Structure 1
């Protein structure tokens, strides 16, 4: 009996000691993680940043640093501060498609036209054979960032979906990785069809609500109205230092982000992102409830496209995620960068560890990667390199872009009034060229800008958000000029004075 009493006395002591040790360990990690975050925040001169670290389903760190903006309206960043999360939205759109797979509405191997009869790409064979699993893995055949300039002209999400049929491919289908935002509008169309509501409403009802992400929404509902949304800043090198300044181009930002919303316009907090990470670390389960089946959840991370390799790792793209397979195991991640906001969401299954880092500083996600690498190695008990120095050196030593374009022999233009007229292309609409006060003006959709002569029948225009765009005119048989095209990097074909 005495032995039994002694054992009963010892067991609570041992349990208490174990819990105390765990708590001390967690507290130690929290202090060290906070130190890493503060150091990176200060080294990179970031205006505002929020970080959440989830380990074994629990918050290991949750913190805010800096200010929501550096103007008179700026307040302290907290875990409840909202940020635009840019391309980390892609994984959420992919998860919504996976919920439809669980419901039996779609199969990843289905052709897109089986669900969207109006879907059309430039090549008829590709259109007929394009599968749902092809939509989000960046092997469509387009050049990188195809159609990204079109929102700056005023084309919206639905119009860009239609314009995909005019974009001539640069590569053969399924052969080459080329990152792209526009194809996520196709995924959104499928989501909208089966949920019977807009993508914005579907992500709120079928993702944010079940994952209890109560402060999450989309830019449509927050960009101009939420007092909790941090303001975007430019973030750039200035000699040997890094500076930032508040972005003022919010009209252009909203227009562009709205047009690619399923690829980049979710708005959330790190507090909510903790739940997003918990679901993934739980292999589709959240708070004891199934959000995704294990099969659908696993499929999201099946490598689909090789994106690169180095001496230690190989990189693949899956359904809205980058998969890095290296000597320390698998790192699932995605970065985001758009209009003064940057984000990183990552989890390491072998460590049961998830990290989300959101900032209101544009230009690079190197500081995010430095934090993620340092934190994961801290918890793993490894120390392979000084990641803060590695990512800072990579950023600061990037050479400035050089303009290697040769100066062309200048050929005078024809009489300016000969270029004027209304040019038309199906689905793109009308492009008007007028002569005002001795200067050519080009207008299409929301763009109305001056044309400057470059060489021969080639002119340039400066489109806010898109930069300098070339416009080329082509002579006709019965008229001085019968057609034109403008160079947005994608071969879009010609606009004709007499529609053909």
Structure 2
């Protein structure tokens, strides 16, 4: 097999026969969309939603990749986005971790269905019966039984935790469903996959990805992790409120992820890099010079669905691309898109969100990188895809605006019009009685201190999470972290016989990203503040 799909072979046959544009099938003519048309699509979104910067890569059969960059890297600064500007591609990194494992399978060093404990003897899950059943494949397909985003607070925002702490945390993260009994997206098992790569190869995940993927693919702008001193890096932008994040004026925010997250979401890359990545993906691991990065068999494995993530009755007038079935493979979502197979993923970090997709039977790929976290990259991607496949006209700009308005309306309603009005009730103990050191077995310690009748909290492993708290309902307090420092939390003290017996938490904002998984913490008192 040479890696060409049936439809791509057909197009090549038309080209070799010298057929005119009028004789090409409709989908092939649509794929010849002019660069100016694609520029117009992106420009319309940027004007409509004040998007600071966008970079795109568009792959079409028998044409060189279209690489485009628009706008500025950071609001208030003149530096322009270009095709070599690095963006945090976040969870797109998962496909690179899957590809790294695929290389080890090709090398004969691991098998997809090997038990994880074969390669990581210190691996443990909460349920001891699950531990020996968890396979290398299971690490990648979000069917472990762990709840959505379990353990993410160890690395969002960055703190003192390191990747090896993922192994220490796992035995304390309680499942919400049976093993292989359904889908809940996680990051922590990708960190374990990164540790497995290190243990088997003798190279750290970052070095392995650099030498075995970036270098052969020619991804010269890519880094396996964020570099604070990159000369050509996209800024970060978000709406920080009031009343909650996701609403208000767009502001510059700081990157807050650390190296612990790398195997799940740490790669920084340009659209020039992404074009090379998607060329190799569409070619089944084959490079333009005929060399292989990974085998055709591993390409098949990486795109084979393993976990059903969603099912619906299909497209509607309001959403013409709603998939009938969506599933997760090895680092990729697989679903239908206007009757075609789509291989896709998104990536979200504080201040940056990206969306990419491939339509393999058409030889098409689109990657959209943005320096804003509102998710505009997805409708831009869809609008470009629609143009390339000659889909019926649909107003993706209006679609995105309606979705944003609905999300904001629901958020405001859920906080009764704002988050500056405390619920009824207050402390039932003298304020000083809430002070103490409290410990969660997977996260670590928080320290609550009292001074002059007011409390403050310090999340010891996460320096950004430190500041005053104020009463917020019965025996509850809300944090006041520095502006832009992630999400605030509601801290609720459990009492018995006039003493604090524990602390539970939840994110203050209903728009908070799932990685702020305060709800998975269960602190118990371990002493007085030190």
The bucket for the TM-score relative to the shorter chain is 0.7 to 0.9
Structure 1 match to 2:379: 370
Structure with greater Cα Rg: 1
Question: RMSD in angstroms over aligned alpha carbons?
Answer: 3.3
After superposition, the C-alpha distances for 1:40-96 in whole angstroms (9 at most, x for unaligned) are 332332111111111236424221111111223x31221111111122111111111
- Give the TM-score taking structure 1 as reference length: 0.84
Report the CA distance shift for 1:392/1:403 in structure 2 as closer, same or farther (over 3 A).
Answer: closer
Task: Spell out, residue by residue over 1:357-382, the C-alpha distance to the aligned partner (whole angstroms, 9 max, x if none).
Answer: 11111121xx4333333333333334
Q: CA deviation at 1:20?
A: 10
* Alpha-carbon distance in 2 for matches of 1:236, 1:428: 26
- CA distance in 2: counterparts of 1:371 and 1:427, whole angstroms: 39
What residue number does 1:121 align with?
125
TM-score by length of 2: 0.80
Residue among 387, 407, 410 paired with 1:400: 410
Q: Secondary structure at the match of 2:152?
A: coil
Cα deviations by residue, 1:328-385 (Å, 9 ceiling, x for unpaired): 2101111112111111121111101111111111121xx4333333333333334253
Match of 1:439 in 2: 454
* 2:203 aligned counterpart, secondary structure: coil
1:271 aligns with 2:272: yes
Maintained 8 Å contact 2:142/2:183: yes
In structure 1, distance between residues paired with 2:52 and 2:219: 25
Contact 1:217–1:267 (CA under 8 A) maintained in structure 2: yes
Asked if 2 retains the 8 angstrom alpha-carbon contact of 1:184 and 1:262, the reply is: yes
CA contact (8 A) 2:30 2:388 kept: no
Of the three residues 32, 47, 51, the one matched with 1:46 is 51
d(CA) in 2 for partners of 1:397 and 1:485?
Answer: 30
Q: 1:199 aligns with which of 201, 205, 215?
A: 205
Q: How does 1:228-247 map to 2 (within 5 A)?
A: 228-234=232-238, 245-247=250-252
CA-CA distance at 1:247 after TM superposition: 2.2
Separation in structure 2 between the aligned mates of residue 430 and residue 388 of structure 1, nearest angstrom: 45
- Give 1:66-465 correspondences, 5 Å limit: 66-72=71-77, 74-151=78-155, 152=157, 154-158=159-163, 159-220=165-226, 222=227, 224-234=228-238, 245-248=250-253, 250=254, 253-254=255-256, 256-287=257-288, 288-312=290-314, 313-364=324-375, 367-383=376-392, 385-398=394-407, 399-401=409-411, 402-403=413-414, 410=425, 412-424=427-439, 426=441, 428-443=443-458, 444-445=460-461, 446=463, 447-455=465-473, 457-463=475-481, 464-465=485-486
C-alpha distance in structure 2 between counterparts of 1:409 and 1:52, whole Å: 52
Q: What are the equivalent positions in structure 2 for 1:472-491 lying under 5 Å apart?
A: 472-475=493-496, 480-481=499-500, 483-486=502-505, 488-491=517-520
SS in 2 for 1:125: coil
Q: SS in structure 2 opposite 1:31?
A: helix
Note the C-alpha offset of 1:142. 2.2
Relative distance call for 1:235 and 1:284 in structure 2 (3 A) is farther
After TM superposition, give the deviation of residue 31 of structure 1 in Å: 3.0
C-alpha distance 413-349 of structure 1, shift in aligned 2 (>3 A): same
Q: Provide the rounded CA distance (Å) in 2 between the counterparts of 1:344 and 1:170.
A: 28
* Shift, 1:208, TM fit: 0.6
1: CA distance, partners of 2:466 / 2:41 = 48
Query: How far does residue 455 in structure 1 lie from its aligned partner after superposition?
Result: 5.0
Which SS does the other structure have where 2:414 is aligned?
coil
Alpha-carbon offset, residue 293 of structure 1: 0.7
Deviation at 1:200, TM superposition (A): 2.1
How far, CA to CA, are the matches of 1:60 and 1:162 in structure 2? 44
By how many angstroms is 1:109 displaced?
A: 0.8
Q: Distance in 2 between matches of 1:427 and 1:27?
A: 53
- Greater shift, 285-294 or 193-202, is seen at 193-202
2:237/2:372 contact within 8 Å kept: yes
Higher deviation after alignment, 24-33 or 162-171: 24-33
Q: Which residue in the other structure is 1:467 paired with?
A: 488
CA contact (8 A) 1:149 1:466 kept: no
**Offset, 1:289:** 1.1
Q: Any gaps of 5 or more consecutive residues in structure 2?
A: 1-14, 315-323, 507-516
Q: Secondary structure at the match of 2:41?
A: helix
Rounded to whole Å, the distance in 2 between the matches of 1:291 and 1:25 is 31
Native 8 Å contact 1:321 1:333 kept in 2: yes
